[in-house]
Structure 1
Amino acid sequence: MGLKLIHVGLGGHGRGVARNIVVPSADFSFAGLVDKNPEALREAGEEFAVANANRYTDHELAFSELEADAVLIEAFSPAHYEIAKSALEQGFHVLIEKPFVLHLEEAKELVALAKANDRQIMINQNYRFNATVLTLKQALLQQPLGKPLFVESHFFCNHIGRAYQLALENYILLEMTVHHVDMIRFLLDTEITSVSGKTWNEPDSGYLGDPHVQAVYETNLGVPVFYLSSLIVQGIADPWEGVWRIQCEQGTIHLDDLGEGYGVYTVNAEKVITKLPLIPNKHEGIHGTLAEFAEAIRENRAPQPSGLDNLQTLAALFATADSSRLKRHVAIEDYFRN
C-alpha cells in the first residue's frame, strides 16, 4: 500500500527532490505541499497536480488538517527543529534533509520525542546509498589487502552558499563535512571517539563561519582518519563523496580517479592498480534514502541512519568546532554525559 507524504520546502533544492525523487517513488505520493512562499507553492502544486486545498503556507495547519503517514522536510536548516517537532507531535514519521538540526540538544529532544510517540525519524545521509560508497564499504569488509591502518580523506570545492548558509556559524561542518563524517562511521562500522580539529576563515571569503576544516578523528577501531576540506578553493573540485585513501596492511584502497574514472580502486604491494566494479544499486542516493524510509515505516523499525544514529555524527561535528575554539583534543563522550 502506498504511503502519503507531506512535503515541506519547495525552494530550488526541495522542488528538485519532489520532482526527481518523490514523484518517481513507488512508495510515496503527495498528501500535501507546504512552503512559506505562495508563488513557489502555486508552481509546485501545479507541476505535481496537488489540489489547491492541499497546499499550505503554514506547516502547523497542514499537519493538523492533512491525513498522511510521513513528513519530508526540505526547508532550510534553521527551520528543521521547529518543523520536525511539530510533525512528531502530530504523529507523523519524519525524514529530514541533512543537517538534522543546528544544535545537538535539539536533536536529542527530537529523538526522545520520536521514541515517545513511536514514530521513526530518519536523516538524509544519502551518500550511504551511493554505489561508490557501497563498493568501498564492501572492499573494506572483504579486506583484500589486510586490515585498515589509517584513512586520509579530503573534499575541496568552490561553493558560494545561499544567504542563510553564508551566515551559519558551522556551515562547512553541518552541511558538507556532515556527509564525510557519516561516511567514516558507515565505512569503518565504527564510532568516532575523539577529535582534534581546526577551522579557519579568509578575510574575503563571504562566509561568517569558517569555510576551511582539518581534523583527526580517532575511532574505537584504533584507525585514525585524517580529514581536510574547503568550500573556497580554486582549481579542480572533488566529487561530492570526496577523495579517500585507506592504508591497509598490504596496500591501499581508494575512492578516487586512478586513471579509469572516479571509482573504487585497490593498489597492492607491487603497485598493481585494480578498479573494482560498482555494486549494482537499485536505489541510488536519495532514492535509496526514501526507499529505506518507507521500508522502515512498514516494518516498524529504525531506519538507517535514524535520528538516534545521527546523534553520533552531529556530536563529532560539534566536537570539531569545539576543538578548534578550545585549541585542544575533545572526547565525543563529553556530549552524552547526563
Structure 2
Amino acid sequence: MTTNQRAVLTGAGAMSRKWLDAIKTVGGVDIVGIVDINPANAEARAAEQNINPEIGTDLKAMLDRLSPEIVFDVAIPAVRHGIVATALSAGAHVLSEKPMAETLDQARDLVARAEAAGRLHVVIQNRRYLAQLRRIRRLVASGAIGGITGVHCDFFLDPHFGGFREQMPHVLLLDMAVHTFDAARFVIDDAATSVYAEEWNPAGSWYERDASAFASFRFSQGAVMTYRGSWAAPGLRTSWESTWRITGTEGSILWDGADDIRAERAQPHVAGKLLPDTQVLEIPALDPADRIGGHLGVITDFLMATRGGPTPETVSRENIKSLAMVLGAIDSSTAGRRVEIII
C-alpha cells in the first residue's frame, strides 16, 4: 500500500486555491498543515478544500512537529527567502511561487541551500507550460526561421488586484514580466547578458509604484529582446501572455498570446525585387514529451521529481537565470543605464 506524501502549505491567499486544486488532481499528497499570518484565512481555505490540516502561524514550529516531506510556498515575495530556507533546513522539498527571491544574493543562497540539503527547490513558472510556447520552441529549434535575432513582446492590461500588488515596488517587472522573460529564455534556449530598462507610473494609475516598464535585453548568442508593458493600460488589452514577434535570419513568428500562431520564411531574394517572396510555415504539433498544463503541469513535474522522476526544468538553479533578468532590469531602471547580468 502506497503512503501519501505529507505536505505543509504556507500562504492561504487567493492563489493557494489553484495550487490546492492542482495538488488534489495529481493526488498522493496529504496537506497536514497550513501556515498563514491570518489563521482565519487558513481555516477558510481548509474548509473550502474539505481537509483538516493543523493551522498555525509559525512555520518552523509546525515543521518540527509534523516533519513533512514537502512545503508548498504560496506566500508573498517579501517572506520567500525565510520560508524556503526554513523548509530546506527541515529536510523538505519546496515548490515556491515566483519570484524565487527578492535579490540575487538571496536566490544564490537558496540554490546553495537546496544543493547542500539534497532537496528540490522548484519555482512556479507556469507560462512555459503553455502548449503554444512548446510548439513555438519546437519551430525555433528546427531552424525553420534561421538563427534568432529578436524577440519582441508587448503586454498591456488594466487589472485592479487590490492588496499587496498595488503597493508593491517594481510590481510589473517582479510579478508579471518575469513570466515573459522566462518564456523568452525558454523559447530561444539562451541566457541574457545585459539589459537597459525604464519604469514609470502613468497618469491615472491606481498603483502606488511604477506599473509600466520598457526593457531591452541582449542574449549570449546575439539575439535582442524588447519588452513593453503596463498594468495600467485600459482598453485594447493584450493577452496575459503578451503578444510576440520572434525574428530570425530567414523568417519570423507571430503569436497573439492565445491560439493564433503564424510563421513565414523568406524565399531567396531575386535581383531587382524589393521584397522577397515568403512561404507560410506549418506550426509543429505538440509532442507527447512536451510538458504542458500551466500550474498543474509544474506541480505534476515537481511531485513526480520528489518521487524519483526527472528534475523539473524550473528548478531554482535554472530559474535564477530568469530572476536575474528581472533584477537586472530593476537595477538598470534605477541606475539609468545598461547593466550586465551576472548570475
Work out whether the TM-score is over 0.5: yes
| Kept in 2: contact 1:32–1:50 (CA 8 A) | no
Report the alpha carbon displacement of residue 36 of structure 1 after superposing the two structures with TM.
2.6
Q: Which residue of 2 aligns with 1:296?
A: 305
Match of 1:82 in 2: 82
Residue of structure 2 equivalent to 1:279 = 286
- Scaled by the length of structure 2, the TM-score of the pair is 0.89
Return the alpha-carbon distance in structure 1 between the equivalents of residues 191 and 298 of structure 2.
Answer: 21
Shift of 1:128: 1.5
**Match of 1:152?**
152
Q: One-letter code of the match for 2:122?
A: M
CA distance in 2, matches of 1:181, 1:38: 35
Distance 2:133 2:28 in 1: 24
1:108 maps to 108
Whether the 8 Å contact between 2:202 and 2:232 is mirrored in structure 1 is no
Match of 1:17 in 2: 19
Measured after TM superposition, the shift of residue 214 of structure 1 is 1.0
1:44 is matched with 45
Residue 202 of structure 2 aligns to which amino acid in structure 1? E
Residue 58 of structure 1 deviates from its aligned partner by 2.6
SS in 2 for 1:299: coil
1:236-255 alignment to 2 at 5 Å?
Answer: 236-255=236-255
Cα RMSD for the two superposed structures = 2.1
Question: SS state of the match for residue 244, structure 1?
Answer: strand
Corresponding residue of 1:31 = 32
Cα distance in structure 2, aligned partners of 1:36 and 1:16: 19
- For the Cα contact (< 8 Å) 2:139–2:284, is it kept in 1? no
Deviation at 1:324, TM superposition (A): 1.8
Correspondence for 1:95: 95
After superposing on structure 2, the runs of 4+ consecutive aligned residues of structure 1 that deviate more than 6 Å are none
Cα shift at 1:224: 0.8
Aligned pairs for 1:64-83 (under 5 A) are: 64-83=64-83
Partner residue in 1 for 2:274: none
The Cα shift of 1:275 comes to 6.3
Aligned to 2:265: 268
1:3 aligned partner: 5
Amino acid at match of 1:189: D
Q: Which amino acid aligns with 1:268?
A: R
Q: Is the 1:5–1:29 contact (alpha carbons within 8 Å) kept by the matching residues of 2?
A: yes
**For the residues of structure 2 that align with 1:301 and 1:90, how far apart are their CA atoms?**
23
Aligned residues: 329
Percent identity over the alignment is 26
Structure 2 stretches lacking a partner, 5+ long: 267-276
Q: Distance in 1 between matches of 2:198 and 2:285?
A: 34
* Helix, strand or coil at the partner of 1:23: helix
Distance in 2 of aligned mates of 1:277 and 1:3: 37
Structure 2: which amino acid aligns with 1:67? S
- Paired with 1:282 and 1:323, the residues of 2 have a C-alpha distance of 33
Q: Is the 8 Å Cα contact of residues 171 and 211 (structure 1) preserved in structure 2?
A: yes
Paired letter, 1:164? F
Please give the alpha-carbon distance, in whole angstroms, between the structure 2 residues aligned to 1:90 and 1:41. Answer: 22
